[in-house]
């Protein structure tokens, strides 16, 4: 046992005594076979008398193989209820806490920024015009901020495996947790092949002669290689990917301001002329409703920072700061960049149509640069889009594998789904994710567009339900604290938006679902069943999961756990509450003693 920099104690993994004894006996036999200390094997003069090179190779190979063995959770009382057992398993899950502060910060800022922003924003601009673009992204942004703040409070209080997925069952009900967990799995196992195909389509910007299957293969094994190294590989890759995306978007913002003011090679001063011609709105209120869904898709994956809680070295210090970074992500990367997009690209630009939802040539970021007559830079932006797409594919493996393991922990899937090896890798979850990832080879099929349209339909609304569920879980958590005579003074981090922010999140998510229902059913003046199921199928899938659980439990289910019965203690990483409260008060006093600008900085960073 050693004390880490964060002040927490970490346990080193030791091999069982029996294995050590067998190694000692084996090593003694090898020494006796050498003959004498000074003798050297005449067939291989490169080895030492004791065969150390060979032994080291065997040891490295054995450690590599042993790393895939299952990490045991220990005995669990069989008399516990379903919810109690799930809570204990989530607390004990042997995921490695390898994510550092810099990893979590960059995951919060840019992990899931991909085609939703770089390409999907073009679809939103074409659908509703620049004014609808700003309004919808702003409203969704406020909801996302409240959601991530609520998630931060929950994840810091309960840094357990599965994060908000396991907390659904604890604070709402097992049946809702079952539906949300399986819904979340569907979302991410489908995202991976979608993003790999998007990456192959992005390559067509430079070369469309090479078969897409070749590029898909390269990208597929790149993601496999990254995930061999477990959560640390994911964290390092996302740190690099997100850094590139952040630098690129900040660079585009500066360039966009220059271009709008007439600083480009061609075009002259632009100002707000595209808001007058062709106009600020397109398709009126229906166009506005259509942008809502695209905006929500662009923010999907923002909740990934919550899944890192069980694999973060010191969540009490890291997660509060990470959740605050989402404010800057929404303000800078979405609101500012999309305001510039609305100024630089008219909504009737024919290139916004594209050939697919992942066509990089249809990216308004690329179009804005090409309109300015800048050569070479569109290819740079396209390379950033490629990196962003691979980043989301990498995040999809992380999210899907952890969710699959959480399903097993909660008893919603076979036990072997929860297999986590000694290196902290949820192997079965990773394997399932990569198995579904092979669907990316549909890119070589003539039916690619149809197949992926329906795959996307299965999980298209998943993020909306997930965010609404996180907000409602936070409301239920605060309600349980109140009913059980406890308060927020025992929390190390409280949501800046409070419980009212979570209520706003629930309401806005419901409004988005209503808007999407209307827009999907009536794309024109007449109802369209095909369009409805293509865009709203995920809601039908949720209803299917609901009835699956009812039948599985023979209709003996609890639809809402009473606030007084909610377990508020399992999974907390606090050993001395008095000491923790003293530390929090000292931190608050320290910040209060600092100048105004420092207090503002700590509030938002």
Q: How far apart are CA 309 and CA 164, in angstroms?
A: 10
Identify the H or E element spanning 115. helix 115-118
Walk me through the domains of the chain, giving residue ranges and CATH numbers.
95-574 (1.20.1740.10)
Structural contact between residues 403 and 178, judged by C-beta atoms closer than 8 angstroms: no
Per-residue pLDDT at 48: 43
Structural contact between residues 426 and 404, judged by C-beta atoms closer than 8 angstroms: yes
Q: Is 99 helix (H, G, I), strand (E, B) or coil?
A: strand
Tokens of 247: 């630098």
N-to-C CA span, the chain: 33
Angle at 47 between CA 44 and CA 53, to 5 degrees: 130
Q: How far apart are CA 252 and CA 425, in angstroms?
A: 37
Q: Is 205 helix (H, G, I), strand (E, B) or coil?
A: coil
Structural contact between residues 464 and 513, judged by C-beta atoms closer than 8 angstroms: yes
Burial (CB < 10 A; 0-12, 13-18, 19+), residue 138, is middle
Q: How far apart are CA 404 and CA 417, in angstroms?
A: 6
Structural contact between residues 253 and 261, judged by C-beta atoms closer than 8 angstroms: no
Q: How far apart are CA 175 and CA 182, in angstroms?
A: 11
Q: How far apart are CA 367 and CA 353, in angstroms?
A: 12
| Burial annotation 319-348 (CB, 10 A radius, 16+ → b, else e) | bbbbbbbbbebbeebbebbbbbbbbbbbbe
Residue 227 neighbours by CB under 8 Å, 6+ apart? 233, 234, 394, 397, 398, 401, 425, 430
Angle at 446 between CA 440 and CA 450, to 5 degrees: 70
Low-confidence ranges of the chain (pLDDT < 50): 1-52
Helix, strand, coil percent content, the chain, rounded in steps of 5: 70, 0, 30
Per-residue pLDDT at 4: 44
Cα separation values, 31 from 37, 51, 55, 63, 466, Å: 8, 9, 12, 22, 61
Token pair 């607390």: residue: 91
Q: How far apart are CA 75 and CA 80, in angstroms?
A: 12
Per-residue pLDDT at 261: 92
| Burial annotation 114-128 (CB, 10 A radius, 16+ → b, else e) | bbbbbbbbbbbbbbb
Q: Is 227 helix (H, G, I), strand (E, B) or coil?
A: helix
**Nearest Cα residue to 172 out of 414, 409, 462, 465:** 465
**φ and ψ of 113, to 5 deg:** -75, 115
Per-residue pLDDT at 542: 92
Angle at 337 between CA 331 and CA 338, to 5 degrees: 95
Q: How far apart are CA 294 and CA 205, in angstroms?
A: 23
Q: How far apart are CA 110 and CA 102, in angstroms?
A: 12
Task: Provide the whole-model pTM.
Answer: 0.80
Q: H helices of 158-229, where?
A: 164-171, 174-203, 212-228
Q: How far apart are CA 175 and CA 232, in angstroms?
A: 33
Per-residue pLDDT at 341: 94
**φ and ψ of 9, to 5 deg:** -95, 140
Per-residue pLDDT at 576: 65
Cα separation values, 60 from 67, 143, 195, 528, Å: 11, 49, 35, 61
């Amino acid at each position: 046992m050693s004390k880490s920099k964060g002040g927490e104690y970490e346990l080193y993994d030791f091999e069982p005594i029996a294995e050590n004894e067998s190694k000692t006996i084996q090593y003694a036999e090898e020494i006796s076979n050498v003959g004498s200390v000074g003798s050297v094997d005449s067939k291989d003069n490169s080895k030492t008398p004791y065969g150390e090179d060979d032994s080291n190779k065997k040891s490295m190979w054995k450690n590599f193989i042993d790393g895939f063995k299952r990490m045991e959770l220990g005995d669990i009382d069989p008399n516990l209820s379903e919810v109690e057992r799930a809570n204990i398993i989530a607390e004990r899950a042997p995921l490695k806490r390898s994510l550092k502060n810099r990893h979590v910060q960059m995951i919060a800022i840019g992990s899931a920024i991909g085609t939703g922003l770089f390409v999907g924003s073009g679809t939103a601009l074409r659908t509703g015009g620049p004014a609808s673009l700003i309004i919808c992204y702003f409203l969704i942004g406020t909801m996302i901020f409240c959601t991530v703040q609520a998630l931060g409070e929950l994840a810091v209080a309960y840094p357990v495996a599965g994060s908000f997925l396991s907390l659904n069952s604890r604070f709402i009900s097992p049946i809702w947790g079952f539906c949300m967990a399986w819904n979340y799995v569907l979302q991410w196992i489908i995202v991976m092949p979608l993003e790999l195909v998007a990456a192959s389509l992005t390559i067509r910007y430079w070369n469309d002669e090479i078969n897409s299957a070749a590029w898909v293969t390269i990208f597929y094994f790149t993601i496999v290689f990254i995930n061999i190294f477990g959560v640390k590989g994911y964290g390092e890759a996302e740190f690099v990917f997100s850094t590139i995306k952040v630098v690129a978007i900040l660079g585009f913002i500066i360039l966009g301001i220059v271009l709008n003011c007439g600083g480009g090679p061609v075009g002259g001063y632009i100002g707000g002329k595209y808001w007058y011609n062709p106009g600020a709105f397109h398709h009126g209120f229906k166009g506005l409703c259509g942008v809502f869904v695209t905006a929500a898709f662009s923010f999907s994956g923002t909740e990934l920072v919550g899944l890192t809680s069980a694999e973060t070295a010191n969540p009490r210090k890291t997660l509060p700061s990470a959740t605050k970074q989402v404010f800057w992500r929404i303000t800078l990367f979405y609101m500012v960049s999309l305001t510039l997009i609305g100024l630089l690209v008219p909504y009737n630009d024919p290139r916004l149509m594209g050939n697919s939802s992942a066509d990089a040539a249809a990216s308004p970021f690329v179009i804005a640069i090409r309109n300015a007559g800048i050569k070479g830079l569109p290819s740079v932006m396209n390379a950033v889009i490629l990196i962003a797409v691979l980043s989301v594919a990498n995040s999809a493996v992380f999210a899907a594998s952890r969710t699959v393991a959480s399903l097993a922990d909660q008893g919603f899937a076979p036990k072997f789904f929860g297999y986590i090896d000694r290196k902290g890798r949820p192997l079965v979850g990773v394997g399932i994710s990569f198995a579904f990832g092979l669907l990316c080879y549909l890119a070589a099929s003539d039916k690619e567009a149809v197949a992926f349209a329906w795959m996307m339909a299965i999980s298209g609304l998943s993020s909306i339900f997930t965010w609404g569920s996180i907000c409602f879980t936070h409301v239920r958590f605060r309600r349980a604290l109140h009913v059980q005579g406890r308060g927020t003074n025992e929390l190390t981090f409280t949501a800046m938006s409070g419980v009212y922010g979570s209520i706003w999140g629930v309401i806005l998510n419901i409004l988005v679902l209503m808007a999407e229902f209307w827009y999907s059913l009536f794309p024109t003046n007449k109802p369209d069943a095909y369009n409805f199921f293509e865009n709203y199928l995920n809601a039908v899938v949720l209803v299917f999961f609901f009835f699956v659980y009812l039948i599985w439990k023979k209709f003996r289910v609890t639809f809402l756990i009473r606030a007084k019965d909610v377990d508020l203690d399992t999974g907390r990483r606090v050993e001395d509450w008095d000491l923790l409260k003293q530390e929090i008060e000292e931190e608050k006093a320290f910040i209060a003693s600092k100048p105004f600008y420092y207090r503002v900085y700590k509030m938002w960073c």
